[in-house]
Structures are given as structure tokens and as C-alpha cells.
A and B are shown apart, each in its own frame.
Chain A
Amino acid sequence: MNRLKHSAVLFLLPGLLGFMIFYIWPFFISLGYAFTDKAVHGTFQGFKNFMELFSNKAYLMGLSNTIKFIAVSVPLNMGAALGISLLTKKIKRHRDLFILVFLVPLVIPSGSMDYFWSSLFAYNGVLNGWLRILGIGKIAWLDSGIAFWVMVLIFTWKNLGYIIVLYLDGLNRVAPEYYEAARMDGASPVLTFWHITLPLLHPTSILVLMMSLINSFKVFKEIYMITGSYPHDSIYTLQHFMNNMFASLNYPKLTTATAVLVSFMVLLSQVLLGMERRASS
């Protein structure tokens, strides 16, 4: 037994080695940039980059938008997906077809939808054309604070299917006996939902949270294609800042931002994995 368990490390090694070579090692090399003034022949300057980063307007704007975006869109997505899952569970026929429909946006390449979104939200675009018919003035969908909600919408469209699948599975795992018992006790559907369904969905919700977080960073692709490197202030995310720093070869600033993000992710992964362990035990 032990021999088997020890030799299993041989299976782990190639992948681990690749992971180290392509992610961890170059990350530590790049970390050096965070403490120097420029990427080539830079001189060591301690934590100056970090101090500067936290007074950099573009960075702070990107950071606060990203936090705001996650704080708004992830709970919204979780709620919507749970709602749709509960409804989908109720129908008997064509359930697979509905799930398929919700999964479609997940697989559609961003490039294929670029022109659609641009035409929909342009200043003289389709939406404003509809508003005109209703006698309402034009709205700058992509060039005002509303752009933030456009970003939330596009993210929701893409992300919902994935978490609906997770929630449907979670709901199927709730043993019917629980509902039976609740009904015997005369609990209302709302009460049953709060005291039985939600707590039992806890392990699913942790994974949903994790996946939504990962996917929330990916909305950058769509936003970048529609609005370019410098969109309206309300949708200028951390990824825009990092992308622009990369494009202008400002590695010290970018790596400093990465280092801050990594330290945050260390904490976050600790919390998420801890929650997951507690939920599964």
C-alpha cells in the first residue's frame, strides 16, 4: 500500500514541474520588478513601487471597480441562477433543452458576439433606436455610469449556465426526506427554502462562488473587445490597468499590482478552501 502511495508521486511530478516552470518560477523572477524602478537594469528601491501604486489613480479606480463589480454581480448571479434552477427543477419535459439554452453563452466565443453587443449598445445603436420609438432620449450605454450595468449584464449572460448546472446538481442531492419532514411539520415553502434548501446547498455555493470569481475576471475579454483599452471610468477594471501596463512595458507597476493581488488571493484561497473543508466534513 505504502509503496503504491509513494510511487504515485511520479504521476504528480511532470505536471508539477511544468506548473513550476511556467507559472511559479517566472512569477518569482518577475517579482523582482516590483522592487526596482525599471524593467531593464533597474535599481532596487524597496517598497517604493507599492507606495506609488496605492496613490496611482488608474490603479485605485481599476481596483475599486473590480471589487464593486464582483460584489454586485456575483451575488446577483448566484441569486438568479438559484432561482432559475428552482424553476427548472419544477418542469418535467424539455428540461435538458432549457439547460442547453443557458449553457450556450458559455461556449460562444467573445469575438462572435463583439459586433452584436457593439450594435446593441452604440450611441446610435439598436437600444437607443427602441427608446426613440418610445419617445425617450438617447442613453450613452457604454459612455456613462450605466456601462457598469452593461458589464454586469454581459457577465451574467455568460456565467449563469455554469452555475445553474452546479445548483441543479446541488438541489438534486438534497434528500427528499428533508422536504417530506418539513411538509409534515407544516413548514411554508419559504421557510423550507431558508432552513433546509439553502443550508444544504452550502457546499455547492462555495464552488459557485469560486467559479463565479474566476469567470468574473474573464468578462474583461468582452469589455475589451467592445470598448478597447480605455473605456469609460465606470468599467475600467483592474485587468485594464494590468493590460495597459503590460502594453506600455511598465513591468514594475504591473508586477507590483500582481504581487498585491497574489497576497489577497492567498488569503481568499485560504478562506474558500477552509469553507469547503468544513462544508464537506
Chain B
Amino acid sequence: MIGYRKYIIASVLVFVGALFLMPLVITFCNSLMSEVEIAQNYTVKPDIFDLTDGINERFKVFKLIPERVTFRQYYEVLLKQPSFMLLMVNSLKIAVPVTLGSLITAMLTAYGFTIWQWKYKEMLFQIYVIVMLMPLQAVLVPNYIIADLLHIKNSYLAIILPGIFSPFSVFLMYQGMKAVPSAYFEAARMDGAENLSMLFHVMLPQLKSSAAALCMLVFIEYWNLVEQAVVFINDYAKEPLSVYLSRIAGGNTGLVFAASSVYMFLPLWLLVSGQKNLEKGIELSGVKG
């Protein structure tokens, strides 16, 4: 009885897991096909041969196994089209500063929130939570206004600066710090530790996972930037990858799978190498000390 149940559970999980991975697997498998094969699978207009065969309606098909494995798409995307690499660098120019910046600000701000005692502290924190809950579209006008005032409207700074101070990072770090037992810093305080050494020697070693999770989540968020790029970047050469991909999906179908695969490689690699930290960091965001 028990043995059967184990297999049923395992097969349910394998089935659901396979469904979850399907989009990714299909994208990757299709990236190894030739442009001709892609065209065959994704053209819905019946051609002359279909019509003579009496087929007057075609559907797109997902195929897993390429007729012949080729790296042609990758070659085109990575080597022949310099614009792709350029746009990837653009994406990095936005995502990396936001990640590092928000890590530093979130660490300092969350530490302040944890140690500082003030009657209205929780109210102040509530403002962070309110902004955190708002959809991105609601902060576009404020972002635009401040970018206009600071004359950074057409630069990445218009995206980077608000990103650095985004409330989500502070929330994640603050929740993580609240989970550090107060005995740790009471002891350090007895030893006469100052705030700076308290933060770096007492708090941070406990918060490695939260910090890693923060970096991953923020990086992924800005690597996947869409709306702000549409609003703030008018120059094609300055666009991040995300916007470019949705544009080529319409025209250059033969390359879209390789381009998509390259685009998702970095976040996937981060996830695989940092899975434990990401999980721990997400967990800590919910724990109360």
C-alpha cells in the first residue's frame, strides 16, 4: 500500500514537473533546428504542395527532435549579428548596477530599520510595503517626473536609480534581519561593537542567503525588463534584449529560439548554481524572529 502511494506521488510530480519544463525544453530543442525546419514547423499558410495534397489549413507544430542538429542559429545570433551581443551588454548595463546598488542600499536600510527604535517605525515601513504592492505601471509617472527633473530621461539612470531604491529589496532584507536572534547582537553590543562592525560581522554572516536571493531576484527582474525600457529608451541601439526579442519574434522566426535560449541562459545558470541560497532567502522573508 505504502509502496504504491510513493509511486503515485512520484508520477504526479514528474508529470507536473514535465509540464512546467515543456516551454523551456521546446525552446531549447528548436534552437538546434535549421531555419528551413523552423519555417516548416511554424508556417501556417498552406503552400502549393499542401494545396495539391488537399490540405487547406496548416497548424504550427512543436517538434522536440530536430531532423538534423545544427548550431546555425547560435552562429547567426552570437557571431553574425553583432547587434545581439550589443543588446545583451545593454541588458547587463542595467541589471548589474541595479543588483549591486540595491544590495548595498537594502543592507544599510534594513539594518537601520532593525536596530533603530522609533515610535513610528512600523508606519514608515508600511509605506515601503504599499509601494511594493503597487503594479509597475503606477510608478511610471513618478519615475518619469523625477527623471525629467534630474535630466536623465534618456539615460539608463532613469531606470537604474529607482531600481536601486526599490522597496522589495529592503523588505526582503528586513525580514531576513528580523530572523537573526537578538542574542547575537546583544552579545556584540556588550563587547562594545559599533554599528558598522555589527552590520558586517554579526548581521551579514547570518544573511548570506538573503543577500544572494536578493541579488538573484533583482537581477532576474531587471534582466527581464520590459515596460521601463519601452518608456525610457527611444534609441534602438540602447534597447535591452527583452524588447528586441519580442520584436524579432514577428519577423526573424528562424533565430528566435536560439536568441531566447541565450537570453535565458544567464538566469538559469544563476538559479542552478544558487538554488539553495535562493530557497533559503525566500524562506527567511517569511520567518519571524
Are B264 and A169 neighbours in the complex by a CB distance under 8 Å? no
Are A109 and B138 neighbours in the complex by a CB distance under 8 Å? no
Which of A22-30, A48-56, A191-199 contacts its partner? A22-30
B187-205 near A? 1/0 per residue, CB < 8 Å:
0010000110011000000
Binding site for A on B (CB under 8 A): 6, 9-10, 12-13, 16-17, 20-21, 23-24, 26-27, 42, 44, 57-62, 105-106, 108-109, 111-118, 122, 124, 126-143, 145-146, 149, 161-162, 164-165, 167-168, 170, 189, 194-195, 198-199, 216, 220, 223-224, 226-227, 231, 241-246, 249, 253, 256-257, 260-261, 263-264, 267-268, 270-272, 275-276, 278-279, 282-283, 285-288
Q: A23-B165, A26-B145, A109-B242 are in contact. Are A15 and B59 (CB under 8 A)?
A: no
Are A269 and B126 neighbours in the complex by a CB distance under 8 Å? yes
| Chain A hits for B271, CB < 8 A | 100, 103-104, 106-107
Closest chain A residue, CB of each to CB of B150: A21
Are B113 and A12 neighbours in the complex by a CB distance under 8 Å? yes
Closest chain A residue, CB of each to CB of B146: A26
A270 and B133 alpha carbons, distance in the complex (Å):
12
Closest chain A residue, CB of each to CB of B112: A12
A103 and B128 alpha carbons, distance in the complex (Å):
26
A270 and B163 alpha carbons, distance in the complex (Å):
25
CB of B247 to closest CB in A, whole Å = 10
Mostly helix, strand, loop or mixed at chain A's interface? helix
A128 and B62 alpha carbons, distance in the complex (Å):
12
Q: A88-B13, A109-B267, A166-B286 are in contact. Are A115 and B257 (CB under 8 A)?
A: yes
Are A15 and B165 neighbours in the complex by a CB distance under 8 Å? yes
Are B112 and A90 neighbours in the complex by a CB distance under 8 Å? no
Not counting A16-B124, A258-B134, A258-B138, a sample of 19 additional A-B residue pairs whose C-beta atoms are within 8 angstroms of each other reads A4-B195, A8-B114, A9-B116, A12-B112, A15-B109, A15-B165, A26-B149, A29-B145, A87-B12, A110-B224, A112-B27, A115-B27, A218-B135, A224-B226, A262-B134, A265-B133, A266-B130, A269-B126, A273-B122
Q: Which of A111, A255, A257 gathers the greatest number of chain B CB atoms within 10 Å?
A: A111
Are B267 and A105 neighbours in the complex by a CB distance under 8 Å? no
| Chain B hits for A115, CB < 8 A | 27, 249, 253, 256-257, 260
Binding site for B on A (CB under 8 A): 1, 4-16, 18-19, 21-27, 29-30, 33, 84, 87-88, 90-91, 96, 98-120, 122, 124-126, 128-129, 132, 157, 160, 162, 165-166, 169-170, 203-204, 207-208, 210, 213-214, 217-218, 220-221, 224-225, 238-239, 242-243, 246, 251, 254-255, 257-258, 261-262, 265-266, 268-270, 272-273, 280
A99 and B241 alpha carbons, distance in the complex (Å):
28
| Chain A hits for B109, CB < 8 A | 11-12, 14-16, 19
A119 and B167 alpha carbons, distance in the complex (Å):
36
Out of A96, A99, A116, A242, which one reaches B137, CB within 8 Å?
Answer: A242
| Chain A hits for B105, CB < 8 A | 14-15, 18
Closest chain B residue, CB of each to CB of A172: B283
| Chain A hits for B256, CB < 8 A | 115
A237 and B241 alpha carbons, distance in the complex (Å):
25
Are B137 and A170 neighbours in the complex by a CB distance under 8 Å? no
Q: A111-B260, A221-B227, A269-B130 are in contact. Are A6 and B116 (CB under 8 A)?
A: yes
